[in-house]
Amino acid sequence: MEDAKKETKKDNGVPHIDQAQKELMQNLAKEHGTPIFVIDHEKIRQNYKEFRENLPSVQAYYAVKANTDSQIIKTLFDMGASFDVASLPEFMIVHKNIEKLPDKERQDWIWDKIIYANTIKPIDTLQELNKYKPLVTYDNIEELKKIKEYAPDAGLVLRIRVPNTGSMVELSSKFGADPGEAADLIVEAFNMGLNVEGLSFHVGSQCTNFENYVQALQLSANIIREAETRSGHRILILDIGGGFPVKYNKQVKSFKTLSKRLNTEFKRLFPSDMQIIAEPGRFMVANACTLVAKVVGKAFRDGKPCYYINDGVYHTYSGQVFDHCNYPVHAFKTGEKQVSAVFGPTCDAFDTITLSAELPELEINDLVYSENIGAYSHASSTYFNGFPPAKVVHINK
């Protein structure tokens, strides 16, 4: 087990599991069966520390939607993280970690440590949230009217639309007020007797174009100045959202490079007492999880070997569909590699993981794995065709 804690090897900056970790994964598969989704909590702690060390003025609100596993929430809670939730069930997952606190401490914790960052909320959710008084986002006048009626005690954060160019998952077409309307929406909220705490944006998930952040920060600074002048109220919180890139491949620039750019812009554009928060999800968990699956079928089709494994795009590989992220399939066994197809277990041809894996010749019951698969993967698993999601196995808790 100690060997498994060694620092992950890197190829051109891309993290890969080492031989000791491969042996651990195979042993875990023997113990628990397959498929298994292995969560390394020490890696999550390392990621949180890296985020805080590089962005010391930014409080990390983990985006629970990236991976909702309750043990991940506990690990980050113990590290001092705050949380970004997008539904009432996500809110309650976090809430379970603070149930033992006295009522007053629990309320203060929620006010300081949770943001409900989905700009559109059902009425019954607003009614339930109001008693907790968390931060909630909005981006249009109709949502503002709902908040006024059903959650008037919440603190408000206006989300604006910013460039998402070059991000793997674009969000600006669905969320965010037009920057030209932003100050009006803030002033209107104050006129309605609501309390606008801050401004937020999101540059898109897995953002590799760092200019998105620069443009968004400049827009935010301009809007905050205008809103404060017109309303007579201070805007105390800036939420820079998520998008912090994971090094899935060598083309992705480092988080340290982005951090230096962000720290410079923070100092240039905002007062020293501005509370800056962020919503990292992928960054915290992507490289902390590994999937291990088993070959359950083998064929030769269209001139190449085809392997059928007991996990697929309706399960842990769902991120290939919803997150636009590819997870290479690797073999534990060695041998001359050839281009191969890998399919999931369901009876749907859509359940195709890859048509171009480089694999040695595999046999039924051989194990394969995919690494860096912790974000937007297992959280979206279904029971399609009756196949259950991979079993979750925790290490280094």
Pair (46, 172) in one structural domain = yes
Pair (90, 108) in one structural domain = yes
Q: What is the pTM of this model?
A: 0.92
Pair (31, 61) in one structural domain = no
Structural domain range at position 366: 3-40+287-395
Q: Nearest CA to 172 among 139, 136, 146?
A: 139
Euclidean distance between CA atoms 326 and 95, whole angstroms: 33
Q: Which residues are catalytic?
A: 347
Pair (188, 262) in one structural domain = yes
Write the CATH number for 124.
3.20.20.10
Pair (308, 211) in one structural domain = no
Q: What is the pLDDT of residues 76-117, one digit of tens each?
A: 999 999 999 999 999 999 998 888 788 888 888 888 899 999
Longest dimension (CA), the chain: 71
pLDDT score for 1: 39
Domain stops at, among 234, 263, 285: 285
Count of structural domains within the chain: 2
Pair (103, 60) in one structural domain = yes
Q: What is the pLDDT of residues 236-294, one digit of tens each?
A: 999 999 989 888 877 788 899 999 999 999 999 999 999 999 999 999 999 999 999 99
Amino acid at 302: D
Pair (277, 381) in one structural domain = no
Which of helix, strand or coil describes residue 293? strand
**φ, ψ at 165 (rounded to 5°):** -60, 125
pLDDT score for 171: 62
Euclidean distance between CA atoms 78 and 74, whole angstroms: 6
Residue holding tokens 């985020």? 51
Amino acid at 130: N
Which of helix, strand or coil describes residue 381? coil
Q: Which residues lie below 8 Å from residue 374, measured CB to CB, with a gap of 6+?
A: 39, 66, 67, 285, 286, 287, 288, 289
pLDDT score for 5: 40
Which residues of the chain are modeled with pLDDT < 70?
1-15, 166, 168-173
Domain stops at, among 267, 285, 303: 285
pLDDT score for 2: 40
Pair (190, 281) in one structural domain = yes
pLDDT score for 178: 93
**φ, ψ at 159 (rounded to 5°):** -95, 130
Pair (24, 57) in one structural domain = no
pLDDT score for 4: 39
Pair (104, 59) in one structural domain = yes
Domain stops at, among 285, 315, 339: 285
C-alpha torsion 318→321→324→327, nearest 10: 40
Write the CATH number for 26.
2.40.37.10
Which of helix, strand or coil describes residue 321? helix
Pair (300, 376) in one structural domain = yes
Pair (293, 165) in one structural domain = no
